[in-house]
Amino acid sequence: MKTVILDGYTAAPDPRAWDGLRALGETVVYERTSPEEVVRRACGAEAVLVNKVKITREVMEALPGLRYIGVLATGYNVVDLEAAGQRGIVVTNVPAYSTISVAQMVFAHLLDITNGVAHYTEAVRNGRWTGAEDFCFYDTPLTELDGRTMGIVGLGNTGAAVARMAQAFGMHVLAVSSKPQNVLQGMGVERAASYEELFSRADVLSLHCPLTQETHHLVDDARLSLMKPSAILINTGRGPLVDEAALAGALNSGRLYAAGVDVLTEEPPRQGSPLMSARNCRITPHIAWATVEARQRLVTTAIGNVHAFAMGQPRNVVG
């Protein structure tokens, strides 16, 4: 079986990481592939692995031998599932590989905002402590998380991990969730009756829901206006969950204290984003998923998915 990996670099910069596929037959690894190169590079492959490369209906029609598409991520919107189903092509993903890594990034952003770690490190490097009159100096609010309310949108694997970490900091957890009340009680989580209640009560709001038509711009100007001026928004989910212009406006006007985001609507932000210059907005380049451990799990599971398919017992099938 010939397998082609069209954009393997972000998951595994070393192509040898994919050696586990070579027992199944010819394996070709490309670091990156442009839309114009997809059909030519995947020609003759029975299995194709992709991360951000889109496999459209037109691509599938041009690859009659294609039988398997493995998505190197949890989200699989890069594949036209309807077209794949019609052609009998199996599509798989890699679920839950980055749960702890993403939850950890939530608190990396949150602690940087509440404790100013990056700010004070740079200030010390610039000599401000050396020249201080007192044994310490601080020019930002330093706040405790204990007793604050963590609002969570989406209580799946990652949202639940964030809830546990928040509780370890002494935070009260409030969530919008479809989980039964007895399950929420067992998790120590209070159900919010509506998004409006969640946004208005949260001291910190963290987004962990999938991107759908219903959740596109879930965080808009109307909901931001409900939030406390002291509140913090964290987005490690998907960029379009947030109306970036509305968030920038809330930050710049002081209607919202701070935001920490790991995802933007356009990635990389070649056209810019209003958040790039927004007041008190921390941005990281979509790296919450990319710890060494998470990427190892991703590659191992993706290889296992291909082997399972080759054995006639596909797993992690989507669609």
**What positions carry a catalytic annotation?**
238, 267, 286
CA angle (252 as vertex; 263, 208 as ends), nearest 5: 30
Longest dimension (CA), the chain: 74
Can you tell me the distance from the alpha carbon of 93 to that of 81, in angstroms, rounded to the nearest whole number?
12
Residue 19 DSSP one-character state: G
Is residue 136 classed as helix, strand or coil in its secondary structure?
A: coil
Q: Is 222 left (phi over 0), alpha (psi -120 to 50) or beta?
A: alpha
The beta-strand segments (E) located in 110-235 are 149-153, 172-176, 189-191, 204-207, 232-235
Is residue 289 classed as helix, strand or coil in its secondary structure?
A: coil
Cα–Cα distances in angstroms (integers) from residue 111 to residues 75, 119, 204, in the given order: 27, 12, 11
CA angle (22 as vertex; 20, 27 as ends), nearest 5: 115
Can you tell me the distance from the alpha carbon of 145 to that of 111, in angstroms, rounded to the nearest whole number?
9
| Helix (H) or strand (E) run with residue 301 in it | helix 292-310
Sign of CA dihedral 141, 147, 151, 152: positive
Phi, psi (deg, nearest 5) at residue 91: -120, 130
Cα within 13 Å of Cα(287), Cβ side? 8
Phi, psi (deg, nearest 5) at residue 260: -125, 120
CB distance 179 to 154 below 8 Å: no
